C-alpha cells in the first residue's frame, strides 16, 4: 500500500501524472497500442479512464472483439457516447452490443444529441427522490439507487409523476434536515434548468452565473433527461478557448495537441488561411503599383509604409482580441455594437493621436533629417502623422466591428484573426497614406 | 411558488439570468448601489452571491458598518478571503471583525496565500472521517459536521492523528458499503494531492488529468489544509484564457469586462504595447532608409515589401498561437523546444515553398507584367519568391521559439503576441528581401 503521507509522495503523484503524459506523447509517435499493452491491468485501467474519447476509441479498436467488453463497460454512458462518436460507423454496432441492456439504451438516447449541446454533454444517471419522502427515507432511497448506478451524486432531484423536475436538494441539506422532515418542505423549488439543445457556450455561462456543480437537462416537454456536471464543462471551456485562440492566430482549430498533430494535417490547417491572406495581401502590391509614379518621384514616402500599415494592424489586433473574448464570455452581444463602436472611435482617435505625435517628432528630430527627407521634411512629417492617426482609427474600427459582423452573418467571431485584420488594414492603409501624400505634397514633392 | 415544469419557465430562468446581468451592466454605468438597494432582500441576496469578489466588495463598502455583518456572513470563508483582497487595506480589519471567531481564523489563514495558488483557491471546510469508523458511523458523523459547517461535500477524507490525509471516499462509496464495513477498508489510499503553493495553471491541469471534482490541499508537512473544487477552477481557467488571449492580441490583461473597463484604463493598457511596437517598427523605416538607393533605382522592389513582410508575420502568428496555447495546456514544455524547432523548420519550409510558388506565378502571369516589372521580370519573380520562402521560414521559427524563450527568462509566453512577432519579422524581412535583391539583381536592375 502506498503511503500518501510523505511530502515526497505529493510530488511523486504529480510527477507520475506528468510521466504518464510524457510516456503517452512518446507512444503517440511510436506504436501506442504496444505501449498500452505493456502496462499492468490496474495501471492500464487508470490510464484508459484518463484518456480522451478519441484515444480510448483508438485503443479499443485495436483490441480483439472479445476483450473489448470489460474496457467499454468501465465507462459511464456519457463517456461511451463520446467514444462511439470517434469510431467509424461500421464499428459502432459492435461496441453498442458489448454494453449491458440499460446502458445501451442510455447511450443510444445520448447519441441522438449533438456533441456540443447540453443533451450531448449530460449524464443520464442522477439521483432522484420524491417530494413526499422524509429525509430519512430519501437517504435510504438514495443509498439503494447509488448501489445500482454507481455515479457520483451531487444533488438529488425531486420529480413529479410526469418526470418533470419540481425541486432540488443537496445531500448536505438532506443530511442537515431533521430525519422526519418531508423532502417537499426542504427542497429548493427555483430551479436552474438547461434545455437539451442548449449550446455548450451558453451552458458554460449558465454554470458561471449560477455557481452550481450540476445542472439538470430537460427536453421540450420539460421532462428531466439527465444532468451536466461542472467537470464536464471544464473540458468544454478549455477546448473552446483553444479553438478561439488558434482561430485568432490565423490557424484552423487543430482538434489535437500540437505535438500529436500529423505534419501534413498541420500544414493543411495553416496553409489554407495563409494562402487566403497572401492573396488578399497581394492587393498591397496592386495598390502600391497604382502609386508607383508617386513613389518614383519621392522614394522617401516608401520608407514609412511598413510603419504606418503595421500600426493600423496592431491596433486592429488589440480591438479584435478584446471584442472576440468579450463575446465568447457573453460580456458583449451583437446588440452592443453601437456601444463598442463609440468606445473604439474614442480609443482609435486617442491611440492614433499618440502614435501620430511620436511619428511627427521622430521625423523632426532625426539626425540625418535633411539628407534623408530633404527640404520638405515638415510636409512629410505631417503626411506620416495624419496617416497614422487615420490608419490607427481605421484599425480600431475594423478590428472591433469585424467580429460582430462575422457573427451577424453566421461565422465564428474568432475568425476575425490578427492576421486577417492586419491584412485588411494593410491594403486600406496604403490607400489612406497615399491619399494624404497627394493632399499635402502635391506641388512640392509630388 | 414558481412552477418550474413549464417549458416557458426554462426559458424564463435563462432570460432572468441574462436580464439580471444586463441590469447589472447598466448599473455599472449608473449608480450600482442605488440599483442594489431597490431589490427585495431575497433577490438582493441571490444577486450578491452571484457577483464577483470585486463587485461584492464595492457593495459592502457602501453599506453602513452595522449592516455589513449579515451580508459578509452569508459567504463561505474562501469567498470572504477573495472579497477582502479587493478591499483597501484600512477597511480590512473592520470586515474581519464582522465575522464569527471560527470563520475569522480560517479567513486570516487563507489571506496568507497568493490568490493564484492552491492555498488561495481552497476552502478550509471539508468533510473528514476516521479510518476506523464503520460506514454507518461515518454517515452519522458527516451529518453532524455538515450541520455545523454548511458547505457542499463531495468526498470525505480520512485523516490520521497528524492531520495528514490517508484516504478518500465518495459519499457514493459510503452509501454503497454494507453499514458495518470500516472506512479504512473501502477508502482509496492512492490520493491525488496538491501542495498549497501549487500554481493555479498546474492545478487546473491536475483537475483535467484526474477528472476529480475536488482535490485536497496539503502544506509542507503533508497536513491537510482544505480542498479546491472544480467549480472554482472553472473561473480560473476562463480567467487565464482571457488573459492569454488579450496578451496575445497585444493588450495588457484588462482584469475586468471590456465594456466595464474605464476608458482611460483601457487606453493605458493598449497604448503601452502599441508605443513599444511602434518604436520597434520604426526600425523598418531605418532599414528601408539604408536601401533607399536600391529603391530609387528599382521602385518596383518597393511594391512587394508589404506582401513579403506580412507573410512572415502571418506565419509567425500561427506558430506563436499554437505554441503559446500548447504551453498553457501543458502539452509543450520548455524541454520540448528541440521537437518544436524541428517541426517548425519543416512547416516553415513547406509553407514558404507554397507562398513562394504563388508569388512567382503571380508575377509571371500578371497582365501588365512588362510595363510594371520591365524586362527583368523573371529576376524580380525569383527575388520575391526566394525572399518569401526565407521570410516565412523565419516567421515560423521566431514565432515558435519566442514563447519558449520568454518563458525561459521568466516572462509569460503569451507576451509573444501576434503584433510582437509581426514587428520582429517585419524588420528582419526587409533585410532578407534586399539581400536577395542585391544577390539576384546586381548588375541588371541594381
Q: Flag whether B60 is in a domain.
A: yes
Q: What is the pLDDT of residue B349?
A: 95
ipTM score above 0.95: no
Structure-block grid coordinates of residue A351: 491611440
Q: Is B259's CB within 8 Å of A340's CB?
A: yes
Least confident span in A28-32, A220-224, B65-69, B293-297: A28-32
Judge whether residue B12 has pLDDT over 80.
no
Q: Does B73 fall in a domain?
A: yes
Report whether A240 contacts A259 (CB < 8 A): no
Q: Which residues of A112-133 are buried (b: 16+ CB within 10 A; e: fewer)?
A: ebebebbbbbbbbbbbbbbbeb
pLDDT, chain B, mean: 82
Residues 6 or more apart whose CB falls under 8 angstroms from that of A349 comprise: A389, A393
Final residue of a structural domain among B50, B80, B112? B112
pLDDT at B360: 93
The answer to whether residues B327 and B271 belong to one domain is yes
User: In chain A, which residues have their Cβ closer than 8 Å to the Cβ of B207?
Assistant: 231, 234
Cβ burial A415-432 (10 Å sphere, 16+ → b, else e): bbbbbbbbbbbbbbbbbb
pTM: 0.74
Contact A259 B171 (CB under 8 A): no
pLDDT of A312 reads 93
Burial of A216 (C-beta count, 10 Å sphere; 0-12/13-18/19+) = buried
> Could you give phi then psi for residue A133, rounded to 5 degrees?
-70, 155
Query: Which of residues B82, B112, B142 is at a domain's end?
Result: B112
Q: Report how far residue B73's alpha carbon sits from residue B60's, in angstroms, rounded to the nearest whole number.
A: 12
Question: Which of B7, B49, B191 minimises the CB distance to A220?
Answer: B7
Give residue B234's pLDDT. 81
Q: Does residue A306 form part of some domain?
A: yes
Query: What distance in Å separates the CA atoms of residue A345 and residue A230, rounded to the nearest whole number?
Result: 39
Share of chain B above pLDDT 90, in %: 23
- Find the mean pLDDT for residues B351-378: 86
Residue A299 and residue B304: Cβ atoms within 8 Å?
no
Determine the straight-line distance between the first and last CA of chain A, rounded to whole angstroms: 86
Identify the domain boundary among B64, B89, B112.
B112
pLDDT band at B361, cuts 50/70/90? very high
Query: A251-254: long-range contacts (C-beta < 8 A, 24 or more apart)?
Result: A251/B318, A251/B321, A251/B322, A254/B322
- Residue of chain B minimizing CA distance to A302: B302
Q: How far is B247 from chain A (nearest CA, A)?
A: 9
Contacts of A329 in chain B (CB under 8 A): 238, 242, 257
- Looking at the fold, whether B290 and B418 belong to one and the same domain comes out as yes
The CATH code of the domain that includes B200 is 3.10.580.10
Do both B430 and B282 map to the same domain?
yes
How many domains, chain A?
Answer: 3
pLDDT at A316: 93
* Helix extents (H) in A30-167: 32-38, 41-50, 53-62, 65-72, 77-84, 89-97, 101-110, 118-121, 135-148
Q: Of how many residues is chain A composed? A: 446
Q: Do the chains contact at B258 and A417, CB–CB below 8 Å?
A: no
Check whether residue A224 and residue A283 sit in a common domain. no
Q: How far apart are CA B59 and CA B36, in angstroms?
A: 8
B417, A293 in Cβ contact below 8 A? no
- Give the chain B residue nearest A4 (alpha carbons): B166
Which pLDDT belongs to residue B13?
39
Contacts of B351 in chain A (CB under 8 A): 267, 270-271, 274
- CA B430 to chain centroid, in Å, comes to 34
A153 in a domain, yes or no? yes
> By C-alpha distance, which of B438, B437, B430, B445 is closest to B297?
B445
CA distance B310 to chain A (A): 8
Per-residue pLDDT of chain A in tens (446 residues, 90 and over written 9): 333 333 333 333 343 445 555 555 555 544 556 667 777 777 778 778 777 788 888 888 888 888 888 888 888 888 888 888 888 888 888 888 888 888 888 888 888 887 778 888 888 878 888 888 888 888 778 777 766 654 556 688 888 888 899 988 877 677 777 778 888 888 888 888 999 989 888 888 888 777 777 899 999 999 998 888 877 788 788 888 888 888 888 888 887 888 888 888 888 888 888 898 888 888 888 888 888 888 888 888 899 999 999 999 999 999 999 999 888 888 888 889 999 999 999 999 999 999 999 999 988 888 777 777 778 889 999 999 999 999 999 999 999 999 999 999 988 888 888 889 999 999 999 999 999 999 998 888 77
- Which residues are within 8 A (CB) of B225 and not within 5 positions of it... i.e. 6 or more apart? B109, B119, B122, B124, B196, B217, B218, B219
Give the best residue of B238, B334, B391, B413 to mutate against chain A (max A CB count within 10 A).
Answer: B238
Nearest-by-CA chain B residue for A52 = B209
Q: How far is CA A392 from the centre of its chain?
A: 28
d(CA B344, CA B361): 25
Instruction: Say yes or no: A211 and A277 in one domain.
Output: no
Which CATH number belongs to the domain containing residue B65 in this structure?
1.25.60.10
Same domain membership, residue A137 and residue A172: yes
B11 contacts on A by Cβ (under 8 Å) = 195
Q: Is residue A249 within 8 Å of residue A277, measured between CB atoms?
A: no
pLDDT at A376: 84
Same domain (yes/no): B292, B433 = yes
Cβ of B329 and A242 within 8 Å? yes
Contact B242 A329 (CB under 8 A): yes
Q: What 3-state class would DSSP assign to A446?
A: coil
Q: Are residues B265 and B360 in the same domain?
A: yes
Degrees to nearest 5, angle at CA B226 with A178 and B89: 105
Please tell me the distance from the alpha carbon of residue B372 to that of residue B377, in angstroms, as a whole number.
9
Residue A20 has what pLDDT?
53
Structural domain boundaries, residue A213: 127-229
Residue to mutate among A25, A170, A245, A422, with most B CBs inside 10 A, is A245
Residue B373 lies in a domain: yes
- Residue B248: pLDDT band (50, 70, 90) is confident
DSSP A117: B
Interface mutation vs chain A, best among B243, B252, B314, B430, most A CBs within 10 Å: B314
Is beta strand A214-218 parallel, antiparallel or unpaired with respect to B127-129? unpaired
Which chain B residue's Cα is nearest to A349? B267
Query: Which pLDDT does position A8 carry in this prediction?
Result: 33
Closest-approach residue (CA) in chain B for A396: B270
Judge if A296 and A429 occupy the same domain: yes
Q: Compute the nearest-CA separation of B90 from chain A (Å).
A: 30
Q: Are residues A432 and A378 part of one domain?
A: yes
- For residue A321, the domain's CATH number is 1.10.357.20
Domain membership of residue A11 (yes or no) is no
Chain B environment of A324 (Cβ under 8 Å): 245
Where residue B430 falls among pLDDT bands split at 50, 70, 90? very high
Residues of A in contact with B151 (CB under 8 A): 172
The residue among B285, B348, B365 with the most chain A CBs within 10 A of its CB, best to mutate, is B285
- Which residues of B fall within a CB distance of 8 Å from A310? 277, 281, 284, 419, 422-423, 426
Nearest to A159 by CA among B5, B47, B193, B60: B5
Q: Tell if the CB–CB gap between A273 and B318 is shorter than 8 Å.
A: yes
Q: How many angstroms away from the CA of B425 is the closest CA of chain A?
A: 11
- Which one of A1, A160, A172 would you mutate to disrupt binding with B, by most B Cβ within 10 Å of its Cβ? A172
Cα–Cα nearest to B247, from A28, A80, A248: A248
A3 within domain boundaries = no
Determine the distance in angstroms separating the CA of A90 from the nearest CA of chain B, rounded to an integer: 30
Question: Looking at the structure, do residues A313 and A424 belong to the same domain, yes or no?
Answer: yes
- Contact B306/A5, CB-based, under 8 Å? no
> Which of B21, B172, B426 faces A153 most closely, judged by CB atoms?
B172
Instruction: Check pLDDT > 70 for residue B386.
Output: yes
Task: Return the pLDDT at B5.
Answer: 34
- B22 or B147, greater pLDDT: B147
Q: What is the per-residue pLDDT for A18?
A: 52
Say how far apart CA B261 and CA B251 lie, in whole Å. Answer: 13
The Cα–Cα gap between A225 and A106 comes to 10
Whether A293 and A324 map to the same domain: the answer is yes
Residue environment code for B253-282, b if the CB has 16+ CB neighbours within 10 A, otherwise e? bbeebbbebeeeebbebbbebbeebbebbb
Does the beta-carbon distance from B189 to A2 stay under 8 Å?
Answer: yes
Q: How many CB atoms lie within 10 A of CB B191?
A: 22
pLDDT at A35: 66
Q: Is A139 part of any domain? A: yes
Amino acid at each position: 500500500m502506498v503511503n500518501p503521507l510523505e511530502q515526497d509522495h505529493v510530488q511523486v503523484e504529480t510527477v507520475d501524472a506528468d510521466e504518464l503524459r510524457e510516456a503517452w506523447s512518446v507512444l503517440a509517435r511510436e506504436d501506442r497500442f504496444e505501449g498500452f499493452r505493456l502496462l499492468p491491468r490496474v495501471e492500464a485501467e487508470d490510464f484508459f479512464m484518463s484518456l480522451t474519447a478519441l484515444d480510448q476509441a483508438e485503443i479499443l479498436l485495436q483490441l480483439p472483439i472479445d476483450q473489448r467488453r470489460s474496457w467499454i463497460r468501465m465507462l459511464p454512458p456519457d463517456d461511451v457516447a463520446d467514444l462511439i462518436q470517434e469510431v467509424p460507423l461500421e464499428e459502432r454496432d459492435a461496441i453498442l452490443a458489448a454494453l449491458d441492456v440499460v446502458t445501451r439504451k442510455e447511450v443510444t438516447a445520448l447519441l441522438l444529441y449533438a456533441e456540443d449541446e447540453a443533451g450531448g454533454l449530460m449524464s443520464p444517471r442522477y439521483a432522484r427522490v420524491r417530494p413526499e419522502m422524509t429525509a430519512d427515507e430519501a437517504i435510504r432511497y438514495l443509498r439503494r439507487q447509488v448501489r445500482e448506478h454507481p455515479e457520483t451524486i451531487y444533488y438529488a432531484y425531486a420529480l413529479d409523476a410526469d418526470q418533470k423536475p419540481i425541486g432540488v436538494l443537496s445531500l448536505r441539506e438532506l443530511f442537515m434536515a431533521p430525519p422526519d422532515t418531508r423532502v417537499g418542505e426542504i427542497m429548493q423549488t427555483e430551479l436552474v434548468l438547461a434545455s437539451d439543445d442548449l449550446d455548450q457556450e451558453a451552458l458554460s455561462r449558465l454554470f458561471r452565473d449560477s455557481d452550481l456543480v450540476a445542472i439538470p437537462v430537460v427536453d421540450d416537454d420539460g421532462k428531466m433527461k439527465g444532468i451536466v456536471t461542472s467537470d464536464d464543462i471544464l473540458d468544454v471551456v478549455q477546448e473552446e478557448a483553444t479553438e478561439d485562440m488558434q482561430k485568432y492566430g490565423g490557424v484552423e482549430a487543430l482538434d489535437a495537441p500540437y505535438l500529436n498533430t500529423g505534419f501534413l494535417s498541420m500544414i493543411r490547417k495553416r496553409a489554407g488561411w495563409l494562402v487566403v491572406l497572401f492573396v488578399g495581401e497581394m492587393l498591397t502590391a496592386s495598390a502600391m503599383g497604382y502609386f508607383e509614379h508617386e513613389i518614383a518621384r519621392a522614394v522617401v514616402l516608401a520608407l514609412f509604409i511598413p510603419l504606418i500599415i503595421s500600426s493600423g494592424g496592431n491596433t486592429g489586433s488589440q480591438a479584435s482580441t478584446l471584442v472576440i473574448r468579450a463575446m465568447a464570455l457573453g460580456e458583449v452581444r451583437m446588440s452592443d455594437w453601437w456601444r463598442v463602436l463609440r468606445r473604439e472611435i474614442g480609443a482609435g482617435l486617442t491611440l492614433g493621436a499618440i502614435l501620430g505625435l511620436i511619428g511627427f517628432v521622430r521625423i523632426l528630430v532625426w539626425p540625418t533629417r535633411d539628407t534623408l527627407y530633404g527640404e520638405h521634411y515638415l510636409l512629410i512629417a505631417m503626411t506620416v502623422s495624419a496617416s497614422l492617426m487615420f490608419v490607427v482609427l481605421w484599425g480600431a474600427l475594423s478590428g472591433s466591428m469585424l467580429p460582430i459582423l462575422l457573427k451577424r452573418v453566421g461565422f465564428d467571431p474568432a475568425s476575425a484573426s490578427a492576421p486577417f485584420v492586419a491584412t485588411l488594414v494593410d491594403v486600406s492603409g496604403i490607400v489612406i497614406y497615399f491619399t494624404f501624400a497627394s493632399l499635402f505634397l502635391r506641388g512640392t514633392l509630388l
